[in-house]
Chain A
Amino acid sequence: MSRIVGIDLGTTNSLVAIMNGKEPKVIADREGRTLVPSVISVDEQGWMVGERAQQRLMTHPQSTIYSVKRLMGKGLTDVQEERKYFPVSLTEKQPGIIQVELGPYRLTPPELSALILKEVKHRAEEFLRTKVTQAVITVPAYFNDSQRQATKDAGRIAGLDVLRIVNEPTAACLAYGLQKKKQGVIAVYDLGGGTFDISILKVKDGIFEVLATNGNTHLGGDDLDQRLMELVLQEIRVEFGQNLQEDVESIQQIRLGVEKAKRQLSTEEVTEIVISLKQGVVYRRPLKRSELESKVRDLIDLTIGPCRQAMEDAHLSLKEIDEVVLVGGATRMPLVSQLVQEFFQKTPHSELNPDEVVAMGAAVQADILAGGIQNMLLLDVTPLSLGIETMGGVMSVLIPRNSTIPTNAKELFTTFVDGQRSVDIHVYQGERELVKDNRSLARFQLKDLDPLPAGMPRIEVNFTIDANGILHVSAKDLRGGREHSVEVKPSYGLSDDDVLRMIEESFTFAKSDMEARLLIEARNEAATILAHTERALRRAEHLVAPEERGRIQDRIIDLKRSMEENDHRLIRERIEQLDKSTVHLAERLMDSTLQNGLKDKKLSDLP
């Protein structure tokens, strides 16, 4: 039976987990590492993901990318803030679709995320010794429709059937519910690498009902690092008179240096930032925990507003919260748990590994969908209100935020002009009064209406948000009762055709990656054999007849020629031919080596 895996596709790290009997288990690599750094790099041999790609951040910053999640479901204008994080060039393929330039390739964020998904999928396949085709993937609870859709597209491009998109804090709560048997009202505070979520859940007899969720998709550990980087850059300018703002290699050095110091300060009171710059210059600076805290406190304070709003939306007072759970690597900072404790007036829990708990929850949800766990059910909500544009650019809310999903709303549409043949519906997500302040999701067009006097057509449009938090629209002509066609133009992200093309391309990519690797391996092997043979010929000059020597020389020339072609099969063939031609030489050489070797030894020295 094929297994459904749970994947946490994180900003900084990704993980894959499965249900192992009754327990979720995060799959580790041979070295025992569970985290796959969400870093992608490319060279002439092909793509690299994870540790290997991460090592290239400093050596090849222009062909390496990280934090791709920050770009998912966005247009170029949305990521002006983010651009300073990325040493690579970002362009827009068409409005609403970002392209990342990496070496000779230009890829969209879903294609890049698909490379990470393939890596973790591969990891799971090695562990399970079977193909993996179905997955549950987690996203921040506060992700909008476009960001969720982009994640689903990434799954499809990676060859995965994404059975469910689950919200990260909810997944964490499922893991806690299963393993720690937590019940009652639970607040999950999730501060990850790039996003913040707060979710309030009511857990009762196996039902995990989300009451409210809120968050900030532009706030996480990366932003704290950014603060420290600004400090270090400033100090380097003063101390060494160097402006490194545009120096991508040094920026990566600094990024890794401050990140390490930040992590150390979660357990130590004081640490040292050490950064080796170019020309042997070393920047060193002691950093106290209190200093770090004063630099980032305002950022962590930004999480309190969403917590307050979530409590209000859940109609709960702080007294009614039974448990507070911390999720995400950034919650390891003592200042974070301190502020959470101050706000909720309760000691927060983090018994389960905050890096792994989301992936574990995804595996739990995968098992629920597979029919394994039968007494647990997750009822999640949509984080943002869904509405349509009405007269004067006003947002008319159809589905309020924090509605349990799936959910739907019906709206009746008609025409304003006699004979009007189509009606445009512009759908938005957000909490503001005017659509211009909200996020455009898509334009829907009801086409081929019967030409009737204004106001006569009656088209009922059904807006459904599925259990993934993704919108579907269908329309029915109430006069005829027939289904009406709806043309969808997503405002951000890929069309279905784009995704299909990328799935195909990813196969050819994989194939050409493989071809390239085989070619390089064959060339390397040929070079080794050539070196050996040439050396042997020199050493055994007196042992081979001239005509044998000439035959070998010809084979050498043949092999060298084949190495200039791009056909690994031809190289292999020539290697074999050369091998055959040197069998005799090798034998003679072996004999003589043996004799030489024995010359200076006594018999008693031999084993």
Chain B
Amino acid sequence: MLDIPEAIYQGLRRHGEETYPYECCGILLGRSSHAAVDGVSINEVVQAVRAGNTRTDSAHNRYNIAPHDLVRAQRQGRQRGLDIIGFYHSHPDHPAQWSSTDLAEAHWIGCSYVITAVEQGRAAATRSFLLTGSSEEEKRFEDEPVSIRQNLIAEDDIEVIQSATED
């Protein structure tokens, strides 16, 4: 299950609208755990980090996050005791469903991959997929329920989405 605060959820959808007709992308920082009762994987989002899409040759249907942005996000997270627990991107004028490319280029097993469909510039469906499996050869996406937390967030967390390239 993806457990995400409302402000961050809306922020990543807004990111997709801002970059339309190109794909947006970003990194989700938080904590991973397993439910005590049924062992379901829970990825709890605490912060989202906007990243630039380096696929400028085909940004309308491809995205890539610079590894350097990942290194910086990981460092930023560690300062707050957070891990990289997922990623998000948008599908401009395309469904919120993972593609063959999304699976082929997903390597963070155990992480959540959030996809927002952006239709004519407006965010539509947002879905999350958990990358599971024990190896590259056996990896697969599973539909992942999304729980949107309505609770208030701290004042200094309102700027929940920051650019990894601007700090």
Q: Is A bound to B?
A: no
